[in-house]
Amino acid sequence: PTSMAQISSSSLCLWSKVITVHSGKPVSVKCRAEGRPIPTISWILANKTYVSESFPGSKQASVQPDGTLIIKEVTVYDRGLYTCMASNPAGADTLTVKLQVIVAPPVILEEKRQHIAGIMGESLKLPCTAKGNPHPSVHWVLFDGTVVKPLHFVNAKLFLFSNGTLYIRNIAPSDSGNYECIATSSTGSERRVVNLTVEQRDTIPRIATASLKMTQLNFGDSLLLNFIKATAISNKTYLLKESSLV
């Protein structure tokens, strides 16, 4: 004899009608059915996709031989109504469960406020590692309002890597200021501010130019010598006396 498929009362997860799970976690929903012949179980997902053991239909969700629905990694987009369907030649039975997804805004792993002192001429990398589900996008805003997006060069000086790290080449005192990293997803945003101070490097003075022509003088004449250092212009006056130079 045949009997209509019926979802068993042992499907305790379904009888609660509401399942709550954190974003990024897996979830399994049992659906047991009784009847003769043994019912086949399939599911209608929140996005109206049909899945069963013999018809996967989704990369994220699958149905086990015992009818259990498994979602590997829940996102905010998975929330909604899920319908278990048990059927055999004698009939069918359905039951619907609501999936609620708890989401959190992105998290930046580095310090939220940081001060960095750099030396003129060196290059810096400012990391900004963002985590979250769904995966957040990252961009930087400079002290002058310039927005730096991933994999973009700015003035051949700044580059933002896909992992959120901002690269600044050959820094100068004019690069001093606040650099703000912003991680954004559909669940919210998180910020990190790096205050950069660029110090001027002390250098050894060196003569940049010098005259190569020869000047003839008589004893007692005055001589004005001009020479340019890397940091300043200096004038020196020498008085030529007999057998000595002062």
Q: How confident is the model at residue 142 (pLDDT cuts 50, 70, 90)?
A: very high
Q: What range defines the domain where residue 233 resides?
A: 207-245
**11 pLDDT more than 80:** no
**214 pLDDT more than 70:** no
* Higher local confidence (pLDDT), 128 or 187: 128
Predicted local confidence at residue 133, as pLDDT: 80
Regarding whether 168 and 221 lie in a shared domain, the answer is no
Sign, CA dihedral 88-92-93-99, equals: positive
Regarding whether 113 and 98 lie in a shared domain, the answer is no
Regarding whether 98 and 12 lie in a shared domain, the answer is yes
Query: Please, what is the average pLDDT of the chain?
Result: 84
Regarding whether 158 and 114 lie in a shared domain, the answer is yes
Regarding whether 183 and 121 lie in a shared domain, the answer is yes
Which region among 25-29, 35-39, 137-141 has the lowest average model confidence (pLDDT)?
Answer: 35-39
Instruction: Give pTM, 2 decimals.
Output: 0.56
Predicted local confidence at residue 245, as pLDDT: 42
**242 pLDDT more than 80:** no
Q: How confident is the model at residue 12 (pLDDT cuts 50, 70, 90)?
A: very low
Predicted local confidence at residue 183, as pLDDT: 98
Query: Got the DSSP string for the chain?
Result: --EEEEE-TT-HHHHT-EEEEETTS-EEE---EEEESPPEEEEE-TTS-EEESS----SSEEE-TTS-EEESS--GGG-EEEEEEEEETTEEEEEEEEEEEE----EE-S-SEEEEEEETT--EEE---EE-SSPPEEEEE-TTS-EE-TT-EETTTEEE-TTS-EEE-S--GGG-EEEEEEEEETTEEEEEEEEEEEEPPP----EEE---S-----TT-EEEEEEEESS-EEEEEEEEETTEE-
Predicted local confidence at residue 155, as pLDDT: 86
Predicted local confidence at residue 226, as pLDDT: 60
Q: What is the CATH number of the domain that holds 62?
A: 2.60.40.10
Predicted local confidence at residue 59, as pLDDT: 84
**73 pLDDT more than 80:** yes
Predicted local confidence at residue 212, as pLDDT: 58
Longest CA–CA span in the chain (Å) reads: 136
Which positions ≥6 away from 67 have C-beta within 8 Å? 30, 31, 32, 33, 41, 84, 86
Regarding whether 146 and 77 lie in a shared domain, the answer is no
Number of domains the chain contains:
3
Predicted local confidence at residue 213, as pLDDT: 66
Distance CA 197, CA 176 (A): 5
